[in-house]
Amino acid sequence: MKKTSPLRCAVVGMGIGRHHAKAYAEHPGSQLVAVVDLDPARLEPWRATVGDEGLFDDYAAMLRALKPDLVSVALPNALHGRVTIDALRAGAHVLCEKPMATSMKEARKMQEEARKAGRRLGINLSYRFTAPARALKDLADDGFLGTPYHAVTKWTRRDGFPGFGGWFGRKALSGGGPLIDLGVHRLDLAMWLMGSPEPVTVSGAIHDHIAKARAAASGKTFDVEDFSTGFVRFANGASLVFETSWAGHQEEPESMMTMVMGTQGSLVHRNEGGGYQFVGECFTERAGHRLHSRIHPDSRATSNPYQEMVAAIREDRPYLADAEDGLRVQKILDGLYKSARTGREVRL
């Protein structure tokens, strides 16, 4: 059903959550009514926008007091499941940060609760919203690839531990290292461009040599991987290889690349200059000549994932990344960690 009044939005977790909050505050279709964080310093900048009555350190109290229409969950990964489910049960739609959860079981429960509550559950697979990614998806949907049969996808960093010693490096809070942090985006992009095939097996390995040495030298806790690699087979016969790392001996600070290979052409989404500038490229052959073209920067604008969620709810149309998409990635994460533990290929 279409909604005409602005959606009343709340954000839980004000790290990356500040981007959600800003988008809701600025969009004409939404109103920011509350922000929640345990750290008062992260709440303070929002006092002028939401008033004293919109600042909370307890999300459950916020849900009871304000009954928001849409809640963004931008907390450490291990809290995504519980807070999402509580918000859905309180009647809110939810936009949950990636990764959807720290296990397949939890992710399935979140999807089931959304279905029971009749509410939307979006997952912030934000790289889909970059202009080149959307253009590449348009090309894939238009048949540019022919039949996609293989993807190579990676995000590796030279030295990019998020807050070494903090929650990202603790399995109980994060669920894993760069695979669950960075790999989520690159696995999702590859599968999205491939037409969302169903992963059926995964085999892989994880390493922690650099992080272990750094933890020992600094006395900080770190119990997840700093590197992962894997091989995935899909139900339609297609395959994928991936690599992710927070640290490694490489030239660029950040190296991101997703290449989907098809019978008629290949599509590439990658960063340029070692940072967060993205390009889209296409490779094919015509009249016996190899062609290589780039998506023109003017061909599509990068869109805002938070404001798109608001629009999708208000206009009762699909969101670009929903629970099904989050689950597809989660399946590979669970399988890869199991494969790394057991040294065997895992059937998903």
Ligand X SMILES: NC(=O)c1ccc[n+]([C@@H]2O[C@H](COP(=O)([O-])OP(=O)(O)OC[C@H]3O[C@@H](n4cnc5c(N)ncnc54)[C@H](O)[C@@H]3O)[C@@H](O)[C@H]2O)c1
Residues near ligand X (CB under 6 A) are 12-16, 36-39, 42, 59, 74-77, 79, 97-98, 124, 126, 181
For the bound state, the minimum distance from the C-beta of residue 166 to ligand X, rounded and expressed in Å, comes to 7
For the bound state, the minimum distance from the C-beta of residue 70 to ligand X, rounded and expressed in Å, comes to 16
Taking the least distance from each CB to ligand X, the nearer of 181 and 243 is: 181
Closest CA to 77 of 2, 153, 182: 182
Taking the least distance from each CB to ligand X, the nearer of 262 and 326 is: 326
Taking each helix axis from N to C end, the angle separating 323-342 and 184-193, rounded to the nearest 10 degrees, works out to 120
From the CA atom positions of the chain, what is the Rg in Å? 20
For the bound state, the minimum distance from the C-beta of residue 32 to ligand X, rounded and expressed in Å, comes to 16
Cis upstream peptide for 99 (omega within 30°) = yes
Taking the least distance from each CB to ligand X, the nearer of 71 and 268 is: 71
d(Cα 212, Cα 204) in Å, to the nearest integer? 20
For the bound state, the minimum distance from the C-beta of residue 266 to ligand X, rounded and expressed in Å, comes to 25
Taking the least distance from each CB to ligand X, the nearer of 181 and 208 is: 181
Taking the least distance from each CB to ligand X, the nearer of 15 and 160 is: 15
For the bound state, the minimum distance from the C-beta of residue 304 to ligand X, rounded and expressed in Å, comes to 12
Q: What six digits make up the tokens of 273? A: 């200059």
Q: Are 110 and 81 in contact (CB under 8 A)?
A: yes
For the bound state, the minimum distance from the C-beta of residue 35 to ligand X, rounded and expressed in Å, comes to 10
How does strand 277-286 pair with strand 55-56?
unpaired
Residue whose Cβ sits closest to ligand X: 15
Closest CA to 95 of 113, 70, 127: 70
Residue 70 DSSP SS3: strand
CA 113 to chain centre: 20
Taking the least distance from each CB to ligand X, the nearer of 173 and 279 is: 173
CA 64 to chain centre: 28
Q: What six digits make up the tokens of 16? A: 């990356």
Taking the least distance from each CB to ligand X, the nearer of 173 and 210 is: 173
Q: What six digits make up the tokens of 270? A: 């990658």
**First-to-last CA distance in the chain?**
36
Taking the least distance from each CB to ligand X, the nearer of 174 and 266 is: 174
For the bound state, the minimum distance from the C-beta of residue 40 to ligand X, rounded and expressed in Å, comes to 10
Q: What six digits make up the tokens of 89? A: 């049960």
Residue 278 DSSP SS3: strand
For the bound state, the minimum distance from the C-beta of residue 314 to ligand X, rounded and expressed in Å, comes to 22
